[in-house]
Structure 1
Amino acid sequence: MKGLILALQFLTRLPLPRVEADGTAFAAAMRWFPAAGLMIGGLVAGAAWAGAWIDAWIGALLALVAWVCVTGALHLDGLADLADATSAAHKNRERLLAVLADPHVGAMGATAVALQLIAKLVLLHGLVESKAFAALLLIPFAARIGPLLWSRWLPPLHDGLGAQFRAVIRPADLALWGVMLLAVAFWMPALLAMAPLAGLWGWWILTRIGGISGDSHGAGIELLESGLLLTVIVWARAS
């Protein structure tokens, strides 16, 4: 339970009891990221359901606001940092790392966040219109399996949070959440798109940047969520 509380403290802005932990225990809380995703998904789905009583667009907007507020825009920040850094990567690797470490948001970062929010709003509208509230519960869960995969697969970009995550993720953790994903995918097969989408992001990070960082994890979660929203809509329309 301590690990779950630490994961929620890191990934959300929910009011939680204070828990003391050292660096190793904090990093190990990553094993609980998918469970934290279920709680995030519950709040997003609840907001969408409430707003849908008025209008599908209202439901989509409330869901998006809930998504941003409960996560504190944490992953959007990573997306912005990575967009700024990769736009500077044509100069040299040192420039990329310097921009990635810069807390300020540039033009490319702001553009990436704006496009991501627009995309999520449109995709959320499609799900709300189809009354696919269960998908909104499960998508944040599935997307947060991605960081566990990237931590085991990709080398850390630098000696930071990404390196700590790599040391604590065990094959048993991947197996546990993989089995849970297969279980829910029996009912919602579109969620299996998480695997190729996460693999594509990991390949891009490896070839473009050379290693995973906290910002890359955050950006990857954002893009996985959008990809899964789209996949669920396409699957529903094709079924």
Structure 2
Amino acid sequence: MSQPTAVPAARWWQSLILAIQFLTRLPTPQLRTFHPEWLAASACWFAPVGLLLGSLLWLGVWLGSLHDPWLGALAGLLLWIGITGGLHLDGLADLSDAMGAAHRSRERFFEVLKDPHVGSFGVIALICAIVSKLVLLMLLASQPQQLPGLLLLPAWARLFALFWSATLPALAPGSGERFAWQPQWRAQAIGLLALLGLSLWLAPALLLAPLAALLWRGWLKRKLGGMTGDCLGAGIEVCEILLLGVLLLPVHLLGA
């Protein structure tokens, strides 16, 4: 068997640009070369890019809420979708269609998962996700003291994606499999400690965030036995919705 061709390691700035390009639609310098292995290396920047997304999300909601909470929620939602390009919503729609149409057939599941068209299950999932985010953002915009949590929420969800890809077997070729090539345990540990510290400072309710990652991992393990890129994207969407609800816990339980 021939040995694979050696691939030069990506420099830190190349990895950062790739992470921004993969997770967002923000303008970046174009790279002259690209190797698939670099995508796995770029995962170490997922949490920092999530902080960038969170900063823009917080800014949009805060500015809009100066006029009306619903306006803040709408501004935040449109920014959220626009900056990410609906990348993870696409994964949620694909996974929902595959789960709805599989009828316990593993072959049918992967067949539908690869289909680029969106079916009725995917449409329903998209509507539920978008409406859930809009309403939860409005409730947060009505409680300005809880808004700082939005800075951290996207970072938590993207750190979770690294955890899922590193601890679950890949079910199909794709981005999920590529991230598993280099688990990035050091980046995960640093990201976890940093986000726990920032959560303690800005939004203590988000100290519960890792539970959302464990819940989604448990669901994937029980239902599918592993993960794909669409599973990672869907998990990011589901966990972002869960964490929006977590941010509201102090308001409803403690009257904060």
Match of 1:54 among 60, 67, 73: 67
2:162 corresponds to which of 148, 152, 161: 148
8 Å CA contact retained: 1:156, 1:211: yes
Aligned to 1:118: 131
Q: Give 1:234's aligned residue.
A: 249
**Separation of aligned partners in 2, 1:209 and 1:185:** 32
Stretch deviating more after TM superposition (76-85 or 47-56):
47-56
Alpha-carbon offset, residue 91 of structure 1: 4.5
What's the TM-score once normalised by structure 1's chain length?
A: 0.96
Q: Over alpha carbons, which structure has the higher Rg? A: 2
CA contact (8 A) 2:57 2:79 kept: yes
Selected match of 1:167 from 170, 178, 181: 181
- Output the amino acid matched with 1:5: I
Are 1:221 and 2:233 matched, yes or no? Answer: no
Q: Deviations over 1:19-60 (max 9, x none)?
A: 232111122111211111111111111111111121010000
Tell me whether 1:208 sits opposite 2:226 in the alignment.
no
- How many residues are matched? 239
1:197 aligns with 2:209: no
- The runs of 4+ residues in structure 1 deviating greater than 4 Å are none
In structure 1, stretches of 5+ residues that fail to align are none
Partner of 1:2: 14
The answer to whether the Cα contact below 8 Å between 1:156 and 1:213 also exists between their aligned partners in 2 is: yes
Instruction: Quote the residue 1:184 is aligned against.
Output: 198
| RMSD of aligned residue pairs (Cα, Å) | 1.2
Q: Equivalents in 2 of 1:64, 1:35: separation in Å? A: 20
- 1:88 paired to 2:101: yes
Separation in 2, partners of 1:51, 1:186: 26
The answer (yes or no) to whether the contact 1:146–1:194 under 8 Å persists in 2 is no
Alpha-carbon separation, structure 1, partners of 2:80 and 2:40: 23
8 A Cα contact 2:177 2:229, kept in partner: no
Q: Unmatched 5+ residue regions in structure 2?
A: 1-12
Contact 1:31 1:169 in 2 (8 A): no
Opposite residue 79 of structure 2, the aligned amino acid is A
Task: Give the residue type in structure 2 aligned to 1:189.
Answer: P
Matched residue, 1:33: 46
- Contact residue 149 and residue 247 of structure 2 kept, 8 A: yes
Q: CA deviation at 1:159?
A: 2.4
Distance 2:250 2:50 in 1: 22
State the AA in 2 paired with 1:230.
G
